[in-house]
Amino acid sequence: MAYNKLIDHTLLKADAKYEDVQKLCEEARQFDFMSVCVNPHFISTCKKLLKGSDVKVCTVIGFPLGQTLTSVKIYETEQAIKAGADEIDMVINISNLKAGRDDLIKEEIAGIKRACDGRILKVIIETCLLTDEEKERVCRIAVSAGADFVKTSTGFSTGGATEADVSLMRKVVGPHIGVKASGGVRSLEDVEKMVKAGATRIGTSGGVKIMSGEQLAPGKY
């Protein structure tokens, strides 16, 4: 199986340089990845660099903590779309989930989905901070709010994707929306395990090495 079209080639470091983003886009073109995933600041740059290719530009909203106001997340999404984003990865408000404020989470996801104006929305639930019950609950909320994907992790918290979490998320959402495994995917073997568990998208900064059959050193990807 060709895994390149499952990969969101990712660069979300705070100190990312323009030359790093240029390299990211060159690699994405070379390997024909599904998308590059960058902070909103770099959307327009990536759009220009990827012109003429079918590589999408994905960006993150409320990243990485999910604690900005819903109105701000919606505005950020609107501006990201105007800048050229093709896909949106948003972070839920975990505090609301822990407090049982499911209505607020659903309202926020639905509002951001409307702001996406038909574009793909992935909902980052940050599995490493949740109980299994919370993972199941937020996955159901995401489905009911119209999300296109649920995503394991930001890659900036205490842990990344696990086979168990991907399997649980797939079981809850069923076959109708995507599951993105992100954080700690370091080898082709990891990708294969995540896909077998139910992932339909992989977020990693190590896409080139993965496609080349290399093993990445431990870290956040």
Q: What is the pLDDT along the chain (221 residues), one digit of tens a residue?
A: 689 999 999 999 999 999 999 999 999 999 999 999 999 999 999 999 999 999 999 999 999 999 999 999 999 999 999 999 999 999 999 999 999 999 999 999 999 999 999 999 999 999 999 999 999 999 999 999 999 999 999 999 999 999 999 999 999 999 989 999 999 998 999 999 999 999 999 999 999 999 987 655 555 44
Sign of the CA dihedral running 208, 17, 43, 156: positive
CA angle 23–90–88, rounded 5-degree value: 55
Task: Report the pLDDT value the prediction gives residue 182, as an integer from 0 to 100.
Answer: 97
Residue 16 tokens, joined: 């990312």
Residue 71 lies in a domain: yes
Number of independent structural domains in the chain: 1
Residue 1 lies in a domain: no
Query: What are the helix and strand counts (H, E) for the chain?
Result: 9, 8
Residue 9 lies in a domain: no
**Residue 113 belongs to domain spanning:** 58-211
Give the number of residues written for the chain. Answer: 221
Residue 149 lies in a domain: yes
Catalytic residues: 89, 151, 180
Residue 12 lies in a domain: no
Residue 189 lies in a domain: yes
Residue 11 lies in a domain: no
Residue 131 lies in a domain: yes
**pTM for the full model?**
0.95
| CATH of residue 192 | 3.20.20.70
